[in-house]
Chains A and B, each alone.
Chain A
């Protein structure tokens, strides 16, 4: 319907004796308020509505389907011209109100029309937020707020080409979806690390990003727009990291802000929005306000549901039935077709809140319900939002869910259905041919058969009939079957990695490789993590496993590293750090010693100590001084000694044949070669080496993870030694005749340890767990396997031998050292 600018119903009003209600804003809130008023008393007020747009009242939240071509404008009209006429409402369109005179109780429109009012309702909604970057006013830069914006986007899309949508919130994603359907190549730029971060948690945001990328959109998170490029029209967008994305259309959908200028100029109380009481009355008793432009009890709303509640309270007030608005709990449903996302309430957890998480990787489902004091306080659903309404209802009614708790996450049908309140009873009631494991097509009968043949643990079932051996989403069902079939005879499985998962380390490593997982959120989703972002045990382990599986490819997650590895120094009991520069094979020279001495003086380090691994440790360095310390040490040619890392620490040596009366080989030289070859490689735990020049073993090589004892006829290679709490002498792995062979075996052994040991398991317990024979089979007997292991190790080393100190000195992650601001109680204005 094309509606011409002008008025409806003009003239009929002149002699009308009723009080005059003037509404500023012909949008969803203004018209809904009038509808509510008419429903209560159709004759009490004479009504005039001013609208800035040329249209009748339409459903703004349906603009996306119009953009996407799923609906026409006529289909989203809420009230057509006949409605205004039938209800004797005067509509003044294309003529926004520009001033309110409260003393004279009149409004004045842009065209100069002045009208008196008895009651004034402000429903000006909100304005799109335009980020103040160069180029924001270029033709081709538009917001996504009203029908004119949709028309502009459709015109641009008609020419095809590239579009950039700035903003990965609900609105931006809807714009991106519409433009994609209209044939444009769309890139979404989002400042935050995950999409829709206000509505979705990280896991759901990650799933959404994956789904949108599968539809051909490019999603750049952490993308900070620096400038919109172009001279006469938009040509592209430049990000702060320097990258440029070409575009003939840029849609800004970064947010909205309440439209309050008119109210502010009229002298009404305005905070973030126009301040109203529970009856939607502003600081002037004759002026009301409703919708996105208002602030009620400190809250502003950008969704439709609260608006309806406000309109009811407002209309009640206008007919003196004061009911009062008490604020809204909101829920969001993503309307982008084909992707089901729901969020409601406060899903951010917090004190005393418990998360109930269900992840079903094979169906792409993620559900999270947050419960506090036996009441639901929030929910995030992805992939299966069927129960969103039920959760939202329980949330709004603040119903006690303690009776439902165990079943809650499975949804209404399960939690309230058929008396199957006990999951074991539910499993027992299944027929024998019911499918338990979808991945491997295993039925209940087969699982029970496997258990009856002697499988007493989850692992045994996994090995016996493959149920729960792939994605693991049926693990709970299998465990219940074990319990039902065996009662108390169930054997507990191996220890899980942590309380966030039902899987052990080995299962997780195997699945990461088998399923080609590439990030921590992906692992957590695919393997059904029960917490939103893991804990301090599992995150460092997952980070290592991914790093080991994908050398050169995986992007290290700094926030999943223990402080020592994040700060590249050892934290000490007083919160200061100690720093150990590398001295290859324990050798040093005047330049290095001088640099160390200078650092000790310059930074007032209270202690320098020779470590057990023959290196110098400088103590008492403050976090903020670390980059400067490293810069000085780097300048003397020294690099990080990784004394802080789960990585190669030191290669201890004796002087060997060069000086020693008994030395048989050049143990110092081999130590230097080993250290130069192996430094920088990340390991499951700290890893130490040593090379002794003769069986007197001055370098104590037989209590190291990898030790070499030189003898007349060659090199004895020892593994699995440990000088820690449980002292363990090495096992002899093999004897070789050349340095080259020694290096080759070392690489194969280290890689086997890197690939097979559990995180935080040193070589000694690892070898005792798997047996020395296993190591010999893989490293000594299997020639091809040895070569392959060594090749994988050296490949990995091509990416890892970057000095982390130098990177940090060059400015990477500088913020980890600098204070964010400083607080001076007596001079607050100096705050950074």
Chain B
């Protein structure tokens, strides 16, 4: 039986204000972020600007600054902030009992 939520590991495996990646076979890599206040977000690991790996950016508040050209992307919506325009697909993710769970349908849809 394939569950709707996939367990990808302990929250503690993601550094605070950091992220970890989850590659998808035949699809786009996913970046799972943990913010300073211990919220977890997941985005496709690609900046809408020039495709920079958002997982490698500096996480501040609930945004991440792309490491290539410093675009700021809102973690909750994937929207570029300020004057920049663009959006990165968001994947539903949650924490339960200290485990990080990612939405299977979301992964397939976003990474397709």
Interface on A for B, CB 8 Å cutoff?
191-193, 197, 201-202, 224, 347-351, 353, 355, 531-536, 539-540, 558-564, 566-567, 571, 573-575, 623, 813, 815-816, 819-826, 828, 831-832
Contact = CB atoms under 8 A, between A and B. Distances in A.
Nearest to A575: B53
A821 B8 contact: yes
B84 interface: no
Contact of B22 (A197, A560, A567, A821): A821
Contact of B39 (A192, A348, A815, A825): A348
Contact of A532 (B9, B61, B67, B72): B61
13 contacts: A193-B16, A348-B62, A349-B62, A532-B37, A559-B17, A623-B56, A815-B14, A819-B23, A821-B8, A823-B22, A823-B24, A823-B111, A828-B6
B21 A533 contact: no
Contacts of B23: 819, 822-823
B36 interface: yes
A820 B20 contact: yes
Nearest to B96: A272
Given A559-B15, A559-B17, A535 B68 contact: no
A260 to B, nearest CB: 15
B108 A559 contact: no
Given A191-B12, A815-B13, A822-B25, A831 B6 contact: yes
Nearest to A192: B38
Nearest to A824: B25
A819 B6 contact: no
Given A819-B21, A820-B20, A831-B7, A563 B12 contact: no
Contacts of A197: 37-38
Most chain A CB within 10 A, of B36, B59, B70, is at B36
Contacts of A819: 20-23
A573 B8 contact: no
Given A815-B20, A823-B107, A825-B24, A351 B77 contact: yes
B58 A533 contact: no
B74 interface: yes
Nearest to A823: B24
Contacts of A535: 60-61, 65
State the majority secondary structure of interface residues on A.
loop
Given A193-B16, A571-B68, A832-B8, A559 B26 contact: no
A824 B23 CA distance: 9
A828 B104 contact: yes
A825 B26 contact: yes
Nearest to A351: B76
Contact of A351 (B12, B59, B74, B111): B74
Contacts of B8: 820-821, 831-832
B92 interface: no
Contacts of B32: 820
B9 A832 contact: yes
Contacts of A564: 67
B63 to A, nearest CB: 8
Interface in B23-47: 23-27, 30, 32, 35-39
A539 B68 contact: no
Contact of B14 (A348, A820, A831): A820
B83 to A, nearest CB: 14
A533 B36 contact: yes
A533 B76 CA distance: 17
Contacts of B7: 831
Contact of B61 (A531, A573, A816): A531
A832 B8 CA distance: 6
A536 B67 CA distance: 10
B56 A566 contact: yes
A201 B39 CA distance: 11
A831 B100 CA distance: 12
A202 B72 contact: no
A831 B61 CA distance: 30
A547 B24 CA distance: 39
Nearest to A272: B96
B51 A575 contact: yes
A200 B56 CA distance: 27
A573 B66 CA distance: 12
Nearest to B46: A575
B15 A534 contact: no
A559 B62 contact: no
Contacts of A571: 52-53, 56, 67-68
A532 B37 CA distance: 9
B26 to A, nearest CB: 7
